[in-house]
Amino acid sequence: MMDHAHDLACVREATERLLNAVAKMDNASLAEPSRLPGWSRGHVLAHLARNADALVNVLRGRPMYVSAEARDADIERDAARPVEVQAADLRESAARFQATGDEPADWSRTVELRHGITDSASRVPFRRWAEVDLHHVDLGIGYELEDLPAEFLERETDFLADRFSGHADVPATRLTDGTRAWSTGRAADEPEITVTGRPADLVGWLAGRRDGAALEVRGGALPKLPPL
């Protein structure tokens, strides 16, 4: 089982990094485009605040969001708020998530996320860590994939490799950073493709943040990954 207490501490640290960065922003920079198509930086921060509350719902056995439409509407509604309001909402929603995570609970229980996806409750704090740190990168304000903690890069590679494992449209692929290795894609006795690269580049490609041009590929073309 995942170490949820450790991951909650990592979420707290990632959130403080993000809040320190947001404190240096102004309203004009918040309204500028993020690295996510169609979203301003304000959209990203609004999403992060609402995601914290959504994961509180998950941990308490409620639907993650009322509906996909309600989720999108909430983000759109909150995206244009002044930076000080965004920062306060982000901090307060993060505190609600941390408080829920600190409550006594059965962390081995199964919880339901969006689209009927289920997981162990113990993995929810890591999922939140990924939301905070990857979306910090998405803001495009100086925090890059290379700045992510080494532990996060390794575990996110493992998480995403597992997510694409068994996917019929992804060839059997071996991923390696030169030290560690992961398998993903269709089941096979031997991988069809080997993809080698730095941890940040592997995560960037797997998470849809980079096109994979910096990766070395043997055995064929770089696989096209389905959307997350």
Summarised one tens digit per residue, pLDDT across range 62-80 is 999 999 999 999 999 999 9
DSSP conformation class of 33: B
Query: How high is the pLDDT of residue 116?
Result: 93
pLDDT digits (tens, 9 = 90+) for 101-141: 999 999 999 999 999 999 999 999 999 999 999 999 999 99
Backbone angles phi, psi at 175, to 5 degrees: -110, 140
Residue 1 has pLDDT above 90, yes or no: no
Residue 224 has pLDDT above 80, yes or no: yes
The letter for the amino acid at 10 is C
What average pLDDT does the segment 148-160 reach?
98
Q: How far is CA 102 from CA 97, 174, 186, in A?
A: 9, 37, 38
Backbone angles phi, psi at 199, to 5 degrees: -50, -45
110-112/181-184 β-pairing: unpaired
Q: How far apart are CA 187 and CA 170, in angstroms?
A: 10
Could you tell me the pTM of the whole model?
0.97
> What DSSP string runs through 49-77?
HHHHHHHHHHHTTS-SSS-HHHHHHHHHH
Residue 2 has pLDDT above 90, yes or no: no
Q: How far is CA 146 from CA 12, 128, 177, in A?
A: 20, 19, 14
Residue 165 has pLDDT above 80, yes or no: yes
Residue matched to tokens 């941890």: 199
DSSP conformation class of 20: H
Q: 94: closest CA among 50, 40, 137, 126?
A: 50
